[in-house]
Structure 1
Amino acid sequence: MSQKIKRIIPYTYRISEYTFIIYFFALSFYPFDSDVFRLMCLLVVASCWILRMVSEKKLLFVKTSLNIPICVFLICSLLASLYSVSRKDSLHTLWDDYLMYFVLFFFMVNTIQGAEQVRRIIKTMLIVCGLVCAYGLYGYYSGIAIYAGRLVATFEYHSRIAKYISLLLPVAVCLFFYYKDFWNRFYLSLFMCVCGFSLILTMNRTSWVAIFVVIFFISFAVRKRYIAYIFAGLCVVLVCVLPSRYISHAKTVMQVKDYFKSEKIIGERLLCWKASLEMIKDRPILGIGIGSRVFRNAYQKYGLEIKGGETQQKKEVNQVKQKKDKTGKKAKPKKVDKLSHSHNILLSICVSTGIIGLLVFLWLFATVFYKAITTWLLLPEGYERALLLGITASLITIFLHGMTDSFWKKPDALFLWYVIGLLFVIVRNGKSTVTKISL
């Protein structure tokens, strides 16, 4: 029996790699309808991992600097769930969502070993992303994948496809400057054109700003300032050739006063942020509990109270009295949207898990950025260094998205932890590379 297992072991590495590739494909093309299939993929990876442990007769678990922060964050989430206003919904979210994020990370770190495996996975990720964007362009112009005049591709909503593109576009930019041969640069240029144009059609202002920021970050990190100048010139060209509605939409980024007065988007988000702060004041230690349904129910209560107070205050200031006002009755506020999160990642985490959960969350991602940057500084020039810079830039774009949205939900968080898993495979391989060089 042991001999048969030993014969299978060499294949388990390749099976894990292919399974992760299939997982990413399913998550990209069927982000909301492939839960069972993706669970089966993880079971295959788990089987490969178990076979290796049986073969070597020891526990194979890679120690990373994230192990403790992840465990502490899960404990905080569990306590918040037990203390939740809706324990059942919170525990379901903890099991079905949060646990899956970290399982994906640990499976990636413990089953993907070699640098060549990382290369193949990254190459496949870029190809799949390009295909999703190509489908998105087809769907946009044919009308089969468009929502409110925006490109959505397979993601049903423009902000999600925008985050997806923002996660992979910086990687392609960094690899473009690593490769020197014509064909690799040609394919990466084609990818950047398709994804960049798709990102424009999403009309997601946060993504536009995030990509603008990270391109300048990349140009200064690699000490090639001409990248920033070329990108700035490209932006000027786009201003000249794009239809007026895109330019008008982009201008609102600079029109801060008008933007915050807008009742359509920011008006609702300001209300959401105010309501979130009130929730934190009421339950500061462990929050109201995790889960979109928990927040949605709480927001209906807090949002209506705040909106009602503001409506009454406006009426008193303007001295616009109605018959109901004369009888002493308060004006009824309009309904609030059924939002599922705080539209800010820090507020979302603090509302759901309290100040303790927020501090652990910041510790968790501070560790991610610290390991990424320190490893990048130590690595010699090469593919892994370029890839590490691209992934770091991608994480920056996601956190910039987090200023007005939340990435701590499916499928966004699954993509995020998939990439962080690859990041820590590179970090682990980078340690051995640096050790060899020092010797």
Structure 2
Amino acid sequence: MNLVWQRFTLSSLPIKEYLASSYLHRSLVGLLRSWRQTSVLIQWGETIAAALLSLVYALAPFVSSTLVGLLLVACVGFWLLLTLSDEATLANTTSVTPIHLLVLLYWVIAVVATALSPVKRAALNDLATLTLYLLLFALCARVLRLPRLRSWLIILYLHVSLIVSIYGLRQWFFGATALATWVDPESPLSKTTRVYSYLGNPNLLAGYLLPAVVFSLVAIFAWQSWIKKALALTMLIVNTACLVLTFSRGGWIGLVAAVLTVMALLVYWRSIEMPPFWRTWSLPIVLGGLIGILVLAVLFVEPVRLRVFSIFADRKDSSNNFRRNVWDAVFEMIRDRPIIGIGPGHNSFNKIYPLYQRPRYTALSAYSILLEVAVETGFIGLACFLWLIIVTFNTGLMQVRRLRQLRSVEGFWLIGAIATLLGMLTHGMVDTIWFRPEVNTLWWLMVALIASYWTPLAQNQAQELNSPT
């Protein structure tokens, strides 16, 4: 059974041997290597790539999607230049991981879905956008393998998110005009300020800040000096407060999932140093305490109670009713094209959805990651996407175990990435913000962070790391 799991998660896949025998890899990678040897520009390739990525993650909350798209084009162009000029060394070969292979497979499925789409022109445009995001992952995974650049990008995102959160808190204290109807007008919370900071939408802000909350939490453990730990604690308080004040129910659910995950992994990380009693009971005590705090908040904080209870109001809540009507139409879309879908992207969705929509319930997407993937690429694409998620989590957990044995503080960032992905998935199950560039770029950054820690394993090592602790 363990061998089947290893093969399913590609844990012991001989990627180095496969790439060494791949004609496509040998013919493309290194095509410009003679130019690389004389180019001053490419000798600083990873640093320049990190600078381009820094522009993406520093500007994403503040600028238009068009400008972010142009920056992604620049990143992809530079990744292509780096790849074509690479040396065919062991280091470059091992930078390709099982996660890369499944990302490539998902892209191939999206290409097929585009070719078979009933709205090919719209699907082709969105395939280009999807390609930019997937190649952003490839560039991030390459850059993040260098600890210095990895640390820089994490610190940059945490400081940018702090600026975003501070402005969001300012909106809470001084008021902010609602740019859309984000709360049921018949709800007691209809006059409540929902902060949205620079992102223009409280649900989008919650999705953007969720990684910041998790990473500021793990930074308390990863950063060594007390001044840095104090900064991380400040970031944690400010980011958490701002996320809570978005009153995004999906954001709250994602936050709970992420925090419970990160606490469980932190307890696992520390358990090697614990006496037998705490090794057995620390996890139930920590998780029970967190759940108790949540229950007290629901019981005694009225805005929280009203917002949480609205989750279970079914169609009596206007937001719930809207999603239910969109999902009903989406199920019919999936039923009519279940195998390969309608093609990737919101343009394809906008062309097909009006044929199925309920009156007055227009939508830009399926309001659920899994439903959107099923609509765009069918059950084949959905199966590949779920496979990618499973392999990503499995890779992350194996590397957490390896770094735990080495007592490397780098493991805390890996814990943060795993918890963030789970939280973003949970939020994305009931919202559409996952496909926005401010959030989607962060998603692929987290996947790339996990991929950057991957190390090839011998068969006996794979057996050991996949075995129960």
TM-score norm. by structure 2 comes to: 0.75
Change (3 A) 1:430 1:187: farther
> Alignment partner of 2:367: what SS?
coil
Moved more, 125-134 or 78-87: 78-87
1:400 aligns with 2:426: yes
Moved more, 294-303 or 366-375: 294-303
Q: Among 29, 32, 55, which residue is 2:65 paired with? A: 32
State which drifts further: 25-34 or 356-365.
25-34
User: Paired residue for 2:399, among 375, 383, 386?
Assistant: 375
Distance apart, 1:112 and its partner CA = 4.1
Q: CA deviation at 1:17?
A: 2.1
- Asked whether the equivalents of residues 158 and 202 of structure 1 are also in contact (C-alpha less than 8 Å), the reply is yes
Q: CA shift at 1:140, angstroms?
A: 4.5
Deviation digits for residues 180-238 of structure 1, max 9, x if unmatched? 54212211111011111111111111221222233222223222546546645654775
Task: Please list, as runs of the form range in 1=range in 2, the aligned pairs for 1:123-202 lying within 5 A after superposition.
Answer: 123-143=155-175, 146-147=178-179, 148=182, 149-179=193-223, 181-202=225-246
Alpha-carbon distance between aligned partners in 2 of 1:19 and 1:289, rounded to the nearest angstrom:
30
Specify the alignment match of 2:3 in structure 1: none
- Say whether residues 1:110 and 2:168 are aligned partners: no
Q: Could you tell me which residue of structure 2 aligns to residue 422 of structure 1?
A: 449
Bigger CA radius of gyration: 1
Give the Cα separation in 2 of the matches to 1:7 and 1:293. Answer: 41
Q: Which range moved further: 117-126 or 233-242?
A: 233-242
Rate the CA distance shift 1:82–1:140 in 2: closer, same or farther, 3 A.
farther
Contact 2:325 2:361 in 1 (8 A): no
- Alignment match of 2:310 (pick from 252, 268, 288): 252
In the other structure, the counterpart of 1:329 is: none
TM-score, normalization: structure 1?
0.80
Counterpart of 1:349 in structure 2 is 373
SS in 2 for 1:427: coil
Equivalent residue, structure 1, for 2:315: 261
- Matched residue, 2:30: none
Secondary structure of residue in 1 paired with 2:60? helix
Alignment of 1:38-437 (within 5 A): 38-39=71-72, 41-42=74-75, 45-46=78-79, 49=82, 53=86, 56=87, 60=92, 62-95=95-128, 97-143=129-175, 146-147=178-179, 148=182, 149-179=193-223, 181-223=225-267, 224-225=282-283, 227-228=286-287, 231-232=290-291, 235=294, 244-253=302-311, 256=312, 259-304=313-358, 335-379=359-403, 380-406=406-432, 407-428=434-455
Distance 2:428 2:76 in 1: 31
Deviates more, 1:337-346 or 1:148-157: 148-157
What is the alpha-carbon distance in structure 1 between the residues aligned to residue 229 and residue 348 of structure 2? Answer: 47
Q: Is the 8 A contact 1:280 1:287 kept in 2?
A: yes
Letter in 2 for 1:128: V
Partners of 2:112 and 2:53 lie apart in 1 by 32
Conserved 8 A contact 2:36-2:85:
no
> Is the 8 Å Cα contact of residues 375 and 430 (structure 1) preserved in structure 2?
no
Local SS of the residue matching 2:98:
coil
Give 1:367 shift.
1.3
Alpha-carbon distance in 1 for matches of 2:410, 2:398: 13
Where does structure 2 lack aligned partners over 5 or more consecutive residues? 1-33, 183-192, 268-281
The amino acid across from 2:352 in the alignment is A
Find the aligned partners of 2:61 and 2:401 in 1 and give their Cα distance.
32
Q: Note closer, same or farther for the CA distance 1:4–1:69 as it changes in structure 2 (3 Å cut).
A: closer
Cα deviation, 1:98-147, whole Å, max 9, x if unaligned, reads: 10111101112234432122112111111111111112223444456754
What are the Cα deviations for residues 260-285 of structure 1, in whole angstroms up to 9, with x where unaligned?
13251111211222211111111111
The 8 Å contact of residues 214 and 258 in structure 2, kept in 1 or not, is answered as yes
The CA deviation at 1:48 is 6.6
Q: Cα 1:137–1:7, aligned 2, differ >3 Å: closer, same or farther? A: same
Counterpart-to-counterpart distance in 2, 1:6 and 1:427: 30
Residues 375-400 of structure 1: CA deviation (Å, up to 9, x unaligned) = 11121323211111111000000110
1:10 Cα deviation after fit: 4.8
| Change in 2 beyond 3 A, CA 1:109/1:212 | closer
Counterpart amino acid of residue 159 in structure 1: N
What SS does structure 2 have at the residue aligned with 1:338?
coil
Q: 1:418 deviation in Å?
A: 2.0
Tell me the CA shift for residue 347 of structure 1: 1.2
Structure 2 counterpart of 1:418, which letter?
L
Match of residue 28 from structure 2:
none
Task: Give distance in 2, aligned partners of 1:350 and 1:190.
Answer: 40
Identity in percent: 20
Residue pair 2:68, 2:437 contacting (<8 A) in 1 also:
no
Return the offset for 1:161: 1.2
User: What are the Cα deviations for residues 28-49 of structure 1, in whole angstroms up to 9, with x where unaligned?
Assistant: 3225242355146416743772
Q: Does the 8 Å contact 2:219/2:412 carry over to 1?
A: yes
Verify the 8 A CA contact 2:197 2:205 in the aligned structure 1.
yes
Q: Which amino acid aligns with 2:379?
A: I
1-structure distance, mates of 2:412, 2:199: 29
Equivalent-residue separation in structure 1 for 2:419 and 2:88 (angstroms):
40
Maintained 8 Å contact 1:218/1:393: yes
SS in 2 for 1:411: helix
